Structure 1
C-alpha cells in the first residue's frame, strides 16, 4: 500500500458531518440536504426504535430539527448513515484519540473514516502522495477477516495522534468564553441568559 492518509477539509457550515460522510461515501461534499432527508425518513419510519428517550426529543420534533441546516449531527446520525450506506463509519476523535465505529455490529464489508476535532468533522482519505488531487483519493476500504482495514488504520491513527499532539481540537467541556454583553467569563457549554433591564 503506497500513499498517505490525508485530512480532506469540509466547509464549516453546521453540516460538516453530513458533507464529510457524503465525501467519503460518494466523493461529494454537498450531500447534506439529501442525507438530512434520509435521517429524518429513517427516524419517522420507526418511532419505537427512535423514541424520545433515544433521540432526546419527540420523534416529530427531532425530524424537524435534523432537517434544519443550522443543526449539527453526531452519533445518532452516523449510526443511521452507516446503515443507509451499508458501510462502517470510523469516527476518530482528536481530543481523546478514540475511534468510534458505527455499523460494526452489522459486520459490513467496507469502512470509511472521519476525523472530529470537538466541533467539526472532516473526511479522511488515502492519497497517493502529499498534495495529490482529491480525485485520486481512496475513501472506502475493505474490512478484513480480523475486522480491521489493515495498514491504513494505523496511518489514520498516527494522523489523529499527530493532530492531538498539536492540540488541534476544541475541548468543549473546558473552553473559556467571555460574554460580550455582561463580560462574565464562562467555562464549557454554559448558557447565560440576560433579563431585559426594567
Structure 2
C-alpha cells in the first residue's frame, strides 16, 4: 500500500460532521443539507427506535432540530449515515486515540474514516503524498476478513497518535474559559453551559 494518511480539513460551520461524511463517501464537502434530510427522514420513519429516551428529545422536535444548519451531529447521526451508505464509519478521537466504529454490527464490506478533535470533524484519506491534490484521495477502504482495513488502519492510528502528541485537540471536559462579560473563570463545557444558563452570558474566551 503506497501513500500516506492525510487530514482533509472541513470548514468549521457547525456542519463539519455531515460535510466530512460527504467527502469520504462522495468526495463532496457540501452535502450537509442533503444528509440532514436523510437523518430526519430515517428518524421520523421509526419513532419506535428513535424514541424520546433514545434521542434526548421528542422525535418530531429532533427532526426539526437536526435540519437546523447550526446544530452539530454526533454518534446518533453517524450510526444512521453508516446504514444509509452501507459502509462502516471509523471516527478517530485525537485526545484519547480511541476509534469508534459505526455500522460494525452490520458487517459492511467497506469503511471510511473521520478524525475528531473534541469539537470538530475532519476527513481522513489515503493520498499518494502529503501534497497530492484531493482528486487522488482514496477515502473508501475494503474491510478484510479480520475486520480491519489492513495496513491503512495502522497508518491511520499512527497519524492520530502524532496529532495527539501535538495536542491538536480541544479538551472539552477540562479546557479553561473566561466569561467575556463578568470575567469569571470556568472549566470545561459543562461549567460553561451552567454559567450561561444562570447568567445569560454566552461570550466565552479560552485561556490557559
TM (norm. structure 1) is 0.97
Pairwise CA RMSD = 1.0
Asked if 1:5 corresponds to 2:5, the answer is yes
Match of 1:194 in 2: 199
Corresponding residue for 2:73? 73
State whether structure 2 residue 168 is matched by structure 1 residue 152. Answer: no
Looking at structure 2, the residues matched to 70 and 10 of structure 1 have their Cα atoms a distance apart, in angstroms, of 15
- Give the structure with the larger helix fraction: 2
State the Cα distance separating 1:194 from its structure 2 match: 2.1
Asked whether 1:177 is paired with 2:182, we answer: no
SS in 1 for 2:92: strand
* Counterparts of 1:21 and 1:194, CA distance in 2: 37
Is residue 41 of structure 2 the alignment partner of residue 36 of structure 1?
no
SS at match of 2:91: strand
Q: Which residue matches 2:204?
A: none
Unaligned runs of 5+ residues in structure 1 are none
Question: How far off is 1:50 after superposition?
Answer: 0.2
Q: Secondary structure at the match of 2:112?
A: strand
1:168 aligns with 2:173: no
Q: Spell out the pairing of 1:15-54 with structure 2 (5 A cutoff).
A: 15-54=15-54
Q: Distance in 1 between matches of 2:5 and 2:88?
A: 18
Closer/same/farther in 2, CA of residues 136 and 195 from structure 1, 3 Å limit = closer
Matches within 5 A, 1:72-151: 72-151=72-151
Deviations 1:100-122 (A, max 9, x none): 00000000000000000000000
The runs of 5 or more residues in structure 2 that have no matched partner are: 202-208
1:180 Cα deviation from its structure 2 partner: 1.1
- Cα deviation, residue 195, structure 1: 6.7
Relative to structure 1, is the Cα distance of residues 174 and 195 closer, same or farther in structure 2, using a 3 angstrom cutoff?
Answer: closer
Structure 2 Cα separation of the partners of residues 39 and 131 of structure 1: 34
Distance verdict in 2 for CA 1:47–1:195, change over 3 Å: closer
Instruction: Spell out, residue by residue over 1:138-194, the C-alpha distance to the aligned partner (whole angstroms, 9 max, x if none).
Output: 000000011000000000000000000000000100011111111110011122232
Whole-angstrom distance in 2 between the partners of 1:99 and 1:177 = 28
What TM-score, normalized by structure 2, do the two folds share? Answer: 0.93
3-state SS, counterpart of residue 79 of structure 1: helix
